[in-house]
Amino acid sequence: MDALVLLGSFFLLMIIGMPVAYAMGAAALIGAWWIDIPLDAVMIQIAAGVNKFSLLAIPFFVLAGAIMAEGGMSRRLVAFASVLIGFVRGGLSLVNILASTFFGAISGSSMADTASIGSVLIPEMEKKGYPRDFATAVTVSGSVQAILIPPSHNAVIYSLAAGGSVSIAALFLAGVLPGLLLGLTLAVMCLVIARKRNFPAGRRIPLGEALKISIDALWGLMTMVIILGGILTGVFTATESASIAVIWAFFVTMFIYRDYKWADLPKLVHRTVKTLTIVMILIGFAAAFGYVMTLMMIPQKITAAITQLSSNPIMVLLLINVLLLILGTLMDMAPLILIMTPILMPVVKSIGVDPVHFGMIMMVNLGMGLITPPVGGVLFVGSAVAKLPIERVVKALYPFFGALLIVLAMVTYLPWLSLWLPNLLLK
């Protein structure tokens, strides 16, 4: 009955139109009242939820990504990717995916990736003979890499949802191979489709022009080196690397590239702060929601229920994947991480799954939700950038969903994909 009151009130409030964050906070208060604990305790948990040093990584990484996205970095990354692989048949689709790989390693945001890369490449691909819906499908599916490749904002949120017991540095490293695997899988599929549909090949860029493009892009690509290099060498923590990334992004954008106007900078900071207030409210209310769930012993009850269905790790992970895929189509990624991590963590630990590995399983699952209706935020952004109906983009995405499911299966059942780098570099 306790679980019904807490979860039922949460879903009911969402159904009647209350924003997810406020529905979570109100449900926590209702649950606390139901089990007769002081409401002051809930308020303390809300404050404690956002009073964490590691949380500073999120605003800094978001701001660094926003500065680079609006400062001309996406255009330079597209040009650099064209130098590397744009000359093959279907090369612009590969350029799209590779540019998303680079940009995801700078922004950590799928939506920023889709908006910036899509605005450059979707019109260009259409001009070169690619269907507009195919170009959009490549853009939105390729942007899922940003969820896996460091510095992923959602990896930081997962670490917090796990109670801080999972290292952010380990999660960053764990996402490298799955992210590259996703990009490679999408690239192979694009090559097959390009040959089947006879898409055009791009031009070979002369050596002198290629060198100029590469040097121009190198300034932005150094952001990746700063973030991962600083963490791995122990020079600074993940949170400190985020603040250094902001300084570097600001320096490159305003003094090297100089494509961005100083007068527009306050507006950019204002938009970033607006985005972050929503995230911080969500994290605070999720902390209270998780606190009430713990008092009600909901995670333990769900663990017992799932393990009663099957004790086979393969089957349990399959059930979890199906659950997350369904939920990912109905809710945004951040609230789902905050809600489901405390619930599912005891389940996966009981079958011997490493929490870092489970983090990658969750990222791929919920990343698919971002490009799936009815609540696919990245899908909506891609449709808006391409000026296409969502139904047409979804139809073009069908083969890409197949590729993502293959990657999900490999990440789920080949734990070394997620754990090899953290074990090699952090132990």
The C-alpha atoms of residue 208 and residue 210 are separated, in whole angstroms, by 5
| CB-CB contact of 246 with 64 (8 Å) | yes
| CB-CB contact of 157 with 283 (8 Å) | yes
Q: Containing domain of residue 309, as a range?
A: 2-426
Q: Residue 13 above 80 pLDDT?
A: yes
Q: Into how many domains does the chain fold?
A: 1
> Percentage of the chain with pLDDT > 90?
21
Q: What is the 3-state secondary structure (H, E, C) of the chain?
A: CHHHHHHHHHHHHHHCCCCHHHHHHHHHHHHHHHCCCCHHHHHHHHHHHHCCHHHHHHHHHHHHHHHHHHCCHHHHHHHHHHHHHCCCECHHHHHHHHHHHHHHHHHCCHHHHHHHHHHHHHHHHHHCCCCHHHHHHHHHHHCCHHHHCCCCHHHHHHHHHCCCCCCHHHHHHHCHHHHHHHHHHHHHHHHHHHHHHCCCECCCCCHHHHHHHHHHHHHHHHHHHHHHHHHHHCCCCHHHHHHHHHHHHHHHHHHHHCCCCHHHHHHHHHHHHHHHHHHHHHHHHHHHHHHHHHHCCHHHHHHHHHHHHCCCHHHHHHHHHHHHHHHHCCCCHHHHHHHHHHHHHHHHHHCCCCHHHHHHHHHHHHHHHCCCCCCCHHHHHHHHHHCCCHHHHHHHHHHHHHHHHHHHHHHHHCCHHHHHHHHHHHC
> Percentage of the chain with pLDDT > 70?
100
pLDDT digits (tens, 9 = 90+) for 72-99: 777 888 888 888 887 788 788 888 898 8
Work out the average pLDDT over 25-39: 87
Work out the average pLDDT over 396-407: 92
For residue 189, name the pLDDT band (cuts at 50, 70, 90). Answer: very high
Say which residue the tokens 């209702």 belong to. 30
In total, the chain counts a number of residues equal to 427
The C-alpha atoms of residue 398 and residue 314 are separated, in whole angstroms, by 26
pLDDT digits (tens, 9 = 90+) for 104-152: 887 778 888 888 888 888 888 888 888 999 999 999 999 999 899 888 8
For residue 359, name the pLDDT band (cuts at 50, 70, 90). Answer: very high
For residue 422, name the pLDDT band (cuts at 50, 70, 90). Answer: very high
pLDDT value of residue 358 = 96
pLDDT digits (tens, 9 = 90+) for 371-381: 988 778 888 88
For residue 427, name the pLDDT band (cuts at 50, 70, 90). Answer: low
pLDDT value of residue 354 = 94
Q: Residue 180 above 90 pLDDT?
A: yes
Lowest-confidence segment of 233-237, 282-286, 413-417 by average pLDDT: 233-237
